[in-house]
Amino acid sequence: MMKRLLVILLATLSLAACVQSIDGYTSDPTTVAALSAYSGNKISVGDFSDFPGEGIITQCRGYGVITTPNHESLAQYIRNAFISELERANAYSPDSPYVISGRINQLTLNTISFGEWIIKITLTSNNGRSISARENYRFQSNVVGINTCQLAGDTLSAAIRNVIRQLVTAPDFRLLTEHSNYPKAKPRHQQTGTQPDSGYTPVTEAAPQSVTQQETTPLPRAK
């Protein structure tokens, strides 16, 4: 009887404890260096949203969840991270005519066979151009659920940092700040209505990146 009660108690503690807050975002030197090239023109940041479909799934083994430090949405967390990189590069201005918005096409967590974050993000400029990138960030999983949830929370900010670096260092990122004849949206804080649809949104994929791994050996890609 005592053994059974101990098992139930441990299981209860594991379920209760697997609510893991991710770390606050830490700037990436490579990203800041790349964005410094835009310190003259500056960049404004529009809304970031998640995309219906695969969307944002951060459940940990079906019973735990990964949360942000200030309980904002993950889309807002990523938007704030992007703004913080621009600010460090002295390339951010809410009044800039160049407005870049974001869409999180996928942000999912796999902890079954190994630990992996999969993040797909598209940045779209108000000049009608877009660029996308995908990050597969693997980390060492654990048989014990609570440990895996903690590792997932500890590595998400690094995965986000990597995908932002992919986007801003891609050769076509500069196209998002070029002039065009397409309608320009007002900066986010000045928007009063729906942005006119330019009817033209070419998407450029960032160059393929190798899988980021942390404390693990190469594994097959998750399907």
User: Model confidence at 20, in pLDDT bands (50, 70, 90)?
Assistant: confident
Which backbone phi and psi does 114 adopt, to 5 degrees? Answer: -160, 170
Rounded to the nearest integer, the mean pLDDT of the chain is 76
User: In this structure, what token pair is assigned to residue 25?
Assistant: 């975002």
pLDDT digits (tens, 9 = 90+) for 150-184: 888 888 999 999 999 999 999 999 999 988 654 54
Q: What integer is the mean pLDDT of 47-54?
A: 76
What confidence score (pLDDT) does residue 216 get? 33
User: Model confidence at 193, in pLDDT bands (50, 70, 90)?
Assistant: very low
User: Model confidence at 199, in pLDDT bands (50, 70, 90)?
Assistant: very low
pLDDT digits (tens, 9 = 90+) for 86-99: 999 999 999 999 99
What confidence score (pLDDT) does residue 162 get? 97
Q: What integer is the mean pLDDT of 13-42?
A: 83
What confidence score (pLDDT) does residue 148 get? 76
**pLDDT, greater one: 81 or 216:** 81
What confidence score (pLDDT) does residue 59 get? 67
Burial class (CB in 10 A: 0-12, 13-18, 19+), 207: exposed
Q: Which residues pair with 44 in a beta bridge?
A: 99
Residue 105 has pLDDT above 50, yes or no: yes
Task: Spell out the residues 6+ positions from residue 223 whose beta carbon is closer than 8 angstroms to its own.
Answer: none
> How many CB atoms within 10 Å of residue 196?
11
Percent of the chain's residues with pLDDT above 90: 45
Residue 1 has pLDDT above 70, yes or no: no
Which backbone phi and psi does 57 adopt, to 5 degrees? Answer: -130, 115
What confidence score (pLDDT) does residue 168 get? 98
